[in-house]
């Protein structure tokens, strides 16, 4: 007796594997890293790695004090990253750890995770066509 082939409806869905690189610089926002990584790991099929293929999406989340954010060099650097096709998750305005009130705080973890999900699923869709 031969084993019966499973019908396509009975087969488990194929999960795509996504790789997310989380890079951290010397910012007080690095304190949010454990929460961010924890939330990213909740995305089905996503794992954190230490290197990525530059043809894949890259998202960046600036975090610095207001004086650094307002420096003209920062605008040039952010512009260069965006020119490479990288996606900025903009910083937000709030009272910073240094005591300043203004732009420079890293976006909220939920905002970052939502944007990562959007980009992953857009990229996956474009890979299938």
The whole-number pLDDT of residue 46 equals 67
Statement: the pTM of the whole predicted model exceeds 0.85: no
**pLDDT digit string (tens) for 47-91?**
443 455 677 888 889 998 999 999 999 999 899 888 878 899 999
Buried b (16+ CB within 10 A) or exposed e, 30-63: eebeeebeebbeeeeebeeeeeeeeeebbbebbb
The whole-number pLDDT of residue 6 equals 44
Is it the case that residue 13 has pLDDT exceeding 60?
A: no
- Please count the residues of the chain: 129
Show me where the domains of the chain are located: 28-128
Torsion of CA 31, 55, 84, 36, to 10 degrees: -10
Q: Distance between CA 52 and CA 58 in Å, rounded?
A: 9
The catalytic residues are 98
Range among 68-72, 83-87, 118-122, 124-128 rated most confident: 68-72
The whole-number pLDDT of residue 122 equals 86
- Mean pLDDT, the chain, whole residue set: 78
């Amino acid at each position: 007796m031969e084993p019966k082939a499973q019908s396509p409806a009975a087969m488990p869905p194929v999960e795509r594997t996504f790789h997310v690189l989380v890079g951290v610089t010397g910012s007080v926002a690095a304190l949010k890293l454990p929460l961010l990584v924890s939330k990213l790991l909740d995305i089905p099929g996503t794992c954190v790695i230490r290197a990525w293929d530059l043809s894949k999406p890259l998202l960046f989340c600036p975090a610095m004090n207001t004086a650094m954010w307002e420096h003209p060099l920062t605008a040039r650097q952010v512009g260069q990253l965006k020119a490479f096709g990288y996606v900025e998750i903009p910083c937000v305005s709030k009272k910073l750890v240094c005591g300043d009130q203004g732009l420079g705080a890293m976006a909220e973890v939920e905002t970052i995770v939502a944007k990562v999900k959007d980009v992953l699923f857009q990229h996956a869709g474009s890979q299938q066509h």
